[in-house]
Amino acid sequence: MPTSVRAAVAHRGATEFQIETVLLRDPAAEEAMLRIDASAFCYSDWIALRGDTGLPALDPDPYPVVLGHAAVGTVLETGAGSRHRAGRRVIVTATPECGECFWCRSGRIDQCERLFVPAPVIGALEGGREVRAPGSSATYIEHTVMRDIQVFPVDSDLPDAWLAMVGCGIVSGMGAVVNVARVTPGSSVVVVGCGQEGLWMVQAARILGAERIIAVEPLAARRDLAARVGATDVIDPADGDPLDAVRALTAGRGADFGFDAGGSVAAVQQAFAMTRLGGVTTFTSYVARDTVVELPLFDLALRGRDLRSSQSGRLDMARDLARFLPMLESGAVDVEAMLGGLRPLDAIGETLAAARDRTEITPIVVP
């Protein structure tokens, strides 16, 4: 029996969501039905709403869709053979963890072979049109159905809005620093772009004991937040060449660790240029599927420049929940600095605007 729920539905070519009723299907084998208690709004969903991500999950035309890939919820029902139990509090992530494929078994869960699969149907609109979940995840909705491998039980008393940020912003941003770059104590770090991901990177670099944390960000409010959460220096790229500014702060060399969280080709190139010879640049920007970035081969081949890709911070949820939740619980990270407004599903337009216009770091949808 389908369950009638309300959702923020994205139609092809639309630039706003529509609140509509979705007749949600029952969970299939190895799936669970969840009540979504809170979902972090991700800037990438604004890109997906515009329809220009080119992600395999959005290919071929999957619209109409329900977006959202970082949430906290409660298991309501389970399909046959599901590993989950009704009543459990769970975290939803963007990246699956099947545990069985070559990538999961070789320690690269971030590349699980079930990551990019065609968007599954989760139900239908009144009138019968199928509704899909790109990335196998739909969280801007009251209840959802999801495959087991993207749902992780959590034992925590932390507020819903905090846990909603774990599945994307926290694992991606903190994971890039802790799991991918492995920033060392006393090192210098530069972060290009201080949105959700960049600010979590700044926080993680501070916790790992980086001595100098340089934040490059054009928006004054975000530079202030970067300083609040741990940046020792902030640079406004409008104040002259930011590369010169970073070099001036790092004995002329550039930072030991560079991070790109700017969402553009320019941010990738800047983060690379701002990292010293023999240093490590970690990049996370995603622009479009066929985007090409030019980098100097001399530096890559002869100057010991190490480039690292950080898909969801090379997450491993069991390990990362054990690592990151205590940081949230103890106050080691400033969570309040990251939170935007908490708004009901009906206010999805305001939530979208807060992310799109960069007036909030992490707006939260509370279905």
Smallest gap from residue 71 Cβ to Zn ion (A): 11
Choice between 8 and 98, CB closer to Zn ion: 98
Q: For residue 251, which phi and psi values (nearest 5 degrees)?
A: 55, 30
Asked if 151 contacts 139 with a C-beta cutoff of 8 angstroms, the reply is no
How many CB atoms sit inside 10 A of residue 314's CB? 23
Distance CA 10, CA 44 (A): 14
Smallest gap from residue 112 Cβ to Zn ion (A): 3
Q: Applying CB under 5 A, which of residues 104, 174, 183, 245 lies at the interface with Zn ion?
A: 104
Binding-residue total with Zn ion (CB under 5 A): 7
Choice between 287 and 295, CB closer to Zn ion: 287
Q: How far apart are the first and last CA of the chain?
A: 22
Choice between 98 and 138, CB closer to Zn ion: 98
Smallest gap from residue 168 Cβ to Zn ion (A): 3
Distance CA 64, CA 12 (A): 6
Binding mask 21-60 for Zn ion (x = CB under 5 A): ---------------------x-x----------------
According to CB under 5 A, which residues from 73 to 102 bind Zn ion?
Answer: 98, 101
According to CB under 5 A, which residues from 154 to 173 bind Zn ion?
Answer: 168
Choice between 101 and 353, CB closer to Zn ion: 101
Choice between 34 and 249, CB closer to Zn ion: 34
- The answer to the question of residue 139 lying near Zn ion (CB under 5 A) is no
Rg of the chain over all Cα atoms, to the nearest angstrom = 20
107 burial via Cβ count (<10 Å: 0-12, 13-18, 19+): exposed
Smallest gap from residue 38 Cβ to Zn ion (A): 15
Smallest gap from residue 208 Cβ to Zn ion (A): 23
Asked if 208 contacts 178 with a C-beta cutoff of 8 angstroms, the reply is yes
Cα–Cα distances in angstroms (integers) from residue 53 to residues 293, 306, 339, 363, in the given order: 16, 27, 25, 21
Smallest gap from residue 206 Cβ to Zn ion (A): 22
User: Which range, of 80-88, 103-111, 265-273, 318-326, touches Zn ion by CB under 5 A?
Assistant: 103-111
Distance CA 230, CA 241 (A): 23
Choice between 112 and 214, CB closer to Zn ion: 112
Distance CA 251, CA 204 (A): 23
Distance CA 347, CA 164 (A): 17
Choice between 279 and 367, CB closer to Zn ion: 367
Distance CA 303, CA 10 (A): 46
Choice between 39 and 188, CB closer to Zn ion: 39
Binding mask 109-128 for Zn ion (x = CB under 5 A): ---x----------------
Smallest gap from residue 253 Cβ to Zn ion (A): 33
Element (H, E) at 306: strand 306-309
Residues that bind Zn ion (CB under 5 A): 42, 44, 98, 101, 104, 112, 168
